Structure 1
Amino acid sequence: MTLRTLALTALLIAAPAQAATSLAEVQKALAATQTLQADFVQTAADGRQARGTMLMKRPGRIRFDYGPKASTLVVADGSRLSFVDYKVSQVSQWPVRQTPLGVLLDPDADLARVARVVPDADNPMPGKIAVLAQDPKRPDIGRILFFLAPDPGAPGGLRLSGWRVTDAQGNLTTVELGNIRINAPIADSSFRFRDPRPVVRPPGKTG
């Protein structure tokens, strides 16, 4: 094989990743991804890992199940992202749009305002498209670096494959996706949860 042939082969192999480097193409692929189901591996800042299944339904819905024995659940119902801790009967909530995941869950998100495609030289995942998103008006909500893999069978030719979220304190959480199914039906009821908090009744009322 000649050097010229080797060079042409390298270009052909790199072409799928290089072809979709504009935010417009990324936004088109995300817009065409209405639902997503996947297995995930989550790595926390201290190196601890958790595994489970993820459901995503745009706009605004996502669910991370950590297994039947887990005491925690992360779920967004379209407006609020909830971290549910059944062990201590607590629920912490934030508006979805005020979290780093908001850019992935909002089909109307203006990527041109909050995101940029990472140059190949700075891309930590060669062969994938890396997009860094952070709202310049809300640096307090952290940032997300998400990755899309070239996939001719995926809507828009790109498949979401994972992300890295850095919170306002600089803590990094990585999520890697596998066994991905795109645009299969998912019921809205999948994004509800059992609230473990005790019911507080007004004074004087019982039953």
Structure 2
Amino acid sequence: MIRGLLLLLLLTAVPALPAQQPAPPSAKVIAARVDHHYNALHSLKVGFTQDYSGMGMNVKERGTLLLKKPGRMRWDYAQPAGKLFLLDGHNGYFYAPGQSEAQKVPAKKLDDIRSPLSLLLGHTNLEKELTGLTMAEVNGQYLLRGVPRGMENRVRVLEITAAADGAILRMRIEETDGAVNSFVFQGEQPNAPAPDAAFVFHAPDGVNVVDGMPPV
């Protein structure tokens, strides 16, 4: 009995091994979460703050983004008030207050830099759409980095910061010429009301619609 008590004391005196920490998710896993989050949506409304630096400009703007599948988006700017970028699935329209013309650009001529959430307008697969995909965990958020396929000559890196559920919190595009376009998103509303009429461009009185270049 004494031996049994001594053995029991020895066993209980051995400190418990610390629980093994789970390995952080891979870039592939986080990219799949982002895909799943947005591929399941029909529409999306979210507030944004945009910072652009390049071409001798430093611009900070904010507003609301409305997306509707397939291929439609509307960027309503509160700062500067009245600025609008609209994609109706066929053409993109850009208008800034005080201008006498609104620019019209065929959707096929708009690249992902000018409308950085266009990759979410269809059925996205980030692992295939971004080359050199990597991931880092920062304070419970996940930073995905890669280069949009086919845009290697234009884009140095695209960064997507996502929450654990796959919702995009920030997006940053650094171009090869040094220009940087970044967005912070807040207040996401999945499957928000998005009537078709919201994606029809109506030029203000006295404003002509002309063929133009993609907006910055």
TM-score (norm 1): 0.69
Matched, 1:150 2:164: yes
The unaligned stretches of length 5 or more in structure 1 are: 152-157, 201-207
Q: Is the 8 A contact 2:44 2:67 kept in 1?
A: yes
SS at match of 2:141: coil
Alpha-carbon distance, 1:37 to partner: 1.0
Identity %: 23
Distance in 2 between the 1:25 and 1:142 partners? Answer: 24
Number of equivalences: 185
Q: Is the 8 A contact 1:140 1:168 kept in 2?
A: yes
**1:193 is matched with which residue?**
201
The unaligned stretches of length 5 or more in structure 2 are: 1-14, 211-216
Q: 1:128 pairs with 133, 142, 149, which one?
A: 142
Name the Cα RMSD after superposition.
3.6
SS at match of 1:30: helix
**1:85 is matched with which residue?**
96
Q: Is the 8 A contact 1:166 1:173 kept in 2?
A: yes
**1:105 is matched with which residue?**
120
Q: Kindly provide the amino acid, as one letter, of the partner of residue 183 in structure 2.
A: V
Q: Kindly provide the amino acid, as one letter, of the partner of residue 105 in structure 1.
A: L
SS at match of 2:167: strand
Q: Is the 8 A contact 1:115 1:133 kept in 2?
A: yes
Matched, 1:179 2:191: no
Q: Kindly provide the amino acid, as one letter, of the partner of residue 122 in structure 2.
A: P
Matched, 1:118 2:129: no
The structure with the larger Rg is: 2
Distance in 1 between the 2:147 and 2:139 partners? Answer: 16
Cα distance change of structure 1 residues 68 and 171 upon mapping to structure 2, 3 Å threshold: closer
Q: Is the 8 A contact 1:33 1:183 kept in 2?
A: yes
Q: Is the 8 A contact 1:96 1:102 kept in 2?
A: no
TM-score (norm 2): 0.66
Distance in 2 between the 1:149 and 1:102 partners? Answer: 16
Cα distance change of structure 1 residues 69 and 79 upon mapping to structure 2, 3 Å threshold: same
Alpha-carbon distance, 1:109 to partner: 4.5
